[in-house]
Structure 1
């Protein structure tokens, strides 16, 4: 009898794990609270030997290269409209940049024949038993699984139910970010053009696929705010309040925000969980070691999915051994990647005019940019086992 694994979350980490577990012979179910795959969102990037090696072993690297945007250059303007900083495409886009929605669709396509996907539902209770985990759902009937994996993001339901309240593990880093789509009335090319003042960045750029569409990106410094994460009207009001009176194209952005059907809004935060597993339940990706923006979260999630599945297969489904090795292999690596997220807000929108001048002065020097790119390559690299395309062990439900 094969090991039954429930994965919570169908963004990036969940389908990546489903791909590997299905290949290794596990019986996989993925549950996702959204009614369908989520589209939109910022472009995500992969960089360095480790990321590309895992993608190649997954068999998706060539398909992803065909989706590569070529990177997204970033141009920052001052209040007078003059350019104060330009960052080349490779700085933000790494070696491979993909629209987040297209990456999610590709991973779903590669895993759906080996996994059951349940959309529009979520876990409401977890009860570990001597031989498995009894799971209650908001809509579906209760079921029992051998293992449960929380791949459900920074605000993980699995982490809350099995490890404790979110405030115990997630730390606000002083900024909020919002993205949404709007018509490209200005005819902007792909990339990012934005007004940068102390503590705020309002930017937009043309869509890489559809020149009639553009993407907005707004980031602002703020203490932790109180709002409902699933109430878009509240979130839109917070963005309006933060950018009212800014000038430049900010009024155009705010006008488009009013009618957008899909808004991404969240704090820039990081998750630090002392142990990534408890009993038969483990965390993956942002749920375990997330950093909202700039922490190489997408690459880390794909690498972690490869290692977690490989260790479960190598151990024949023995979760005690697999979970321990998974964390031992990746914890230091993930922490190193997370540090980039700590710097994202202060980098994109320094809180003071002096901070803006210092950043611009440094990054207008090409050798400093090159050194930062090199450091990013080094941080995103880790030696990984080669689990082989098909483990020789028989996967079965371990007691």
Structure 2
């Protein structure tokens, strides 16, 4: 399926949603440019998972499913301990994982490799202004020369620049859910840690560490803590490290060692647990994708939703032969309910991983230490949202013309 005109599309963001969309648009014959603030593809981050027929169908149609299966971690068991290291609760690998679990950085690399030959990638730059005209969008960049595009897609995450420039301040659309999370790689490696994650829980806080599934000598830390909304510079890693240290100062177990590892950590992911709710996902020639439109920081199946949404948005644009009004409307009609259903899981992540009270911790541990309760939770976890996806590759050729 190819479009009859080389519609110029700018995608802001090269995490997951951006490369997924670039893959499909490039396949359909669009002229695609992806701009990313980071100097290269971002590595690190937590493992991400795909669940259910909808996710796996899109990955299969992309031609990446078998490669991703080769990167499957097999899931990550989780244990919770007290300050003396005594185990309070153990959850099996399939409790939090899906049918396919992959390190986020490796997923990004796969999507990038499969689409880079059909798209222009510009790293180390970002969108500064957007001005829509009758037949284009004029874009200025932080570093590059101003350019014009037929369409602009904001795939730039929960703190989307495209959303801010097009729809208004972030505060209108992003709601803080009461927690912050951080993750980083341990410069010294795993030190004999078992595969999986083990973490210290005290009321409102979780500090955990886990060895890499394929390289037990490597390990990563993850923490989460309850807090009112904080004021900090999202681009100042030193300031973010200070916030993590302040939140966990004075705790026992491995916490002092993990906090010291922050000093030499090369990368740190730090953000609030929040969700984005945007009343409409497009305005004129500009649309939002992934977390920019309907994000949830952790637990909202955001990665799977982004990949599905990229498939639908690209397919609808191709079917509409670049008629963005029809395509954007159909894209939102198909995806909004599905995305919002997935988002709900993110609302529960913080309270589950770090209940705010000692009584809440005892209740969670007591319930999940009962086998029948755990089995019921595992059963519920398999009941994921799904939708019927159009098979854009087999739709009527009369709707789409071949290029050249």
* TM band (smaller chain): over 0.9
**Using the alignment, how far apart are the partners of 2:84 and 2:396 within structure 1?**
61
Offset of residue 372 of structure 1: 3.0
8 Å contact from structure 2 (residues 32, 118) kept in 1 = yes
Corresponding residue for residue 40 of structure 1? 44
Instruction: Tell me the alpha carbon deviations over residues 328-372 of structure 1, each in whole angstroms, 9 at most, x when there is no partner.
Output: 111111111111100000000000011111111222233333433
Residue range with higher mean Cα deviation, 30-39 or 72-81: 72-81
What is the rounded CA distance, in whole Å, between the counterparts of 2:255 and 2:372 in structure 1? 33
Stretch deviating more after TM superposition (116-125 or 179-188): 179-188
CA contact (8 A) 1:24 1:390 kept: no
CA distance in 2 between counterparts of 1:319 and 1:391 reads: 19
Go from structure 1 to structure 2 and tell me whether the alpha carbon gap of 1:314 and 1:373 turns closer, same or farther (over 3 Å shift).
farther
1:225 equivalent among 214, 221, 230:
230
User: Alignment partner of 1:220: what SS?
Assistant: strand
Q: Deviations over 1:27-72 (max 9, x none)?
A: 1110000000000111110011111111111110000000001111
| Inter-partner Cα distance in structure 2 for 1:331 and 1:362 | 34
Please, what TM-score do these two structures have when normalized by structure 2?
Answer: 0.95
Per the alignment, residue 369 of structure 1 pairs with: 374
Displacement of 1:168 in angstroms is 0.6
**1:91 pairs with 92, 95, 98, which one?**
95
- Residue aligning to 2:335: 330
What's the Cα RMSD here?
1.5
Equivalent position to 2:383, from 357, 378, 397: 378
- 2:15 is matched with 11
Distance in 2 of aligned mates of 1:109 and 1:220? 36
Aligned: 1:110 with 2:108: no
Verify the 8 A CA contact 2:82 2:253 in the aligned structure 1.
no
Q: Which runs of 5+ in 2 are unaligned?
A: none
2:269 pairs with 1:247: no
The correspondence for 2:299, drawn from 294, 301, 326, is 294
Deviation, structure 1 residue 374? 3.6
Shift of 1:390: 8.2
Corresponding position of 2:315: 310
- Give how far 1:185 is off: 4.8
CA contact (8 A) 2:130 2:138 kept: yes
Determine the C-alpha separation between the residues in 1 that align with 2:185 and 2:334: 39
Question: Structure 1's 259 and 55: CA in aligned 2 closer, same or farther, altered over 3 A?
Answer: same
2:132 — aligned with what?
128
Aligned length: 397
Given that 1:285 and 1:300 are in contact with CA atoms closer than 8 Å, whether structure 2 keeps it comes out as yes
Measure the CA separation in 2 of the matches of 1:35 and 1:339: 33
Asked whether the 8 Å contact 1:175–1:223 carries over to 2, the reply is yes
Native 8 Å contact 1:149 1:282 kept in 2: yes
For 1:139, the equivalent position in structure 2 comes to: 143
Tell me if the contact between 1:51 and 1:380 (Cα under 8 Å) persists in the aligned partners: no
Whole-angstrom CA distance in 2 between matches of 1:211 and 1:29:
38
Query: Which runs of no fewer than 5 residues in structure 1 stay unpaired?
Result: none
Q: Distance in 2 between matches of 1:351 and 1:95?
A: 31
Q: CA deviation at 1:389?
A: 6.2
Q: Is the 8 A contact 1:314 1:391 kept in 2?
A: no
Report if aligned partners of 1:23, 1:390 keep a CA contact under 8 Å in 2.
Answer: no
**Structure 1 residues 13 and 76: CA distance shift in structure 2, 3 A:** same
Q: How far apart in 2 are the matches of 1:299 and 1:292? A: 13
Which residue of structure 2 lines up, in the alignment, with residue 156 of structure 1? Answer: 160
List aligned pairs for 1:176-195, cutoff 5 A. Answer: 176-182=180-186, 183-195=188-200
